[in-house]
Chain A
Amino acid sequence: MAGARHLRITIGTDGSCRIDAVLFTDASCQTFTKEIASALGGGIVQEHAKPEARVAQRNGQADRQAAR
Chain B
Amino acid sequence: MSHFVECQTEFRDPAALVAALVECGFPQAQIEIHDQPVPLYGYQGDVRPQQAHIVIRRQHVGPAANDVGWEKQPDGTFRAWISENDGRNRFNPDLQNRIKQEYACQVITRQQRSLGRTIERQPLPGGEIELTIGGYR
A residues with CB within 8 A of B: 1, 4-22, 24-30, 32-37, 39-50, 52-53
A48 to chain B, nearest CB (A): 6
Find chain B residues with CB under 8 A from A47 CB. Answer: 3-6
Interface of A is mostly: mixed
Find chain A residues with CB under 8 A from B103 CB. Answer: 15
Per the CB 8 Å criterion, the residue count for chain B at the interface is: 40
- B7:A19 contact, CB within 8 angstroms: yes
Known A-B contacts A1-B120, A11-B105, A14-B101; the reply to A40 vs B7 at CB < 8 A is yes
- B101:A49 contact, CB within 8 angstroms: no
Q: How far is the CA of A23 from the CA of B78 in the complex (A)?
A: 36
- A6:B134 contact, CB within 8 angstroms: yes
- A43:B7 contact, CB within 8 angstroms: yes
B107 to chain A, nearest CB (A): 5
Known A-B contacts A16-B7, A16-B9; the reply to A5 vs B1 at CB < 8 A is no
- A33:B120 contact, CB within 8 angstroms: no
Residue of A nearest to B109 (CB): A39
Which 7 pairs across A and B sit closest by C-beta, in order of nearness? A15-B100, A42-B8, A53-B2, A50-B2, A15-B9, A42-B10, A41-B12
- A15:B97 contact, CB within 8 angstroms: yes
Q: How far is the CA of A24 from the CA of B77 in the complex (A)?
A: 32
Please list 21 pairs of residues, one from A and one from B, whose beta carbons are closer than 8 Å in the complex, sorted by A's number.
A6-B136, A7-B133, A9-B132, A11-B104, A11-B105, A11-B129, A12-B101, A13-B128, A15-B103, A16-B8, A17-B7, A32-B136, A33-B4, A34-B5, A36-B7, A36-B108, A41-B10, A44-B7, A47-B5, A49-B1, A49-B3
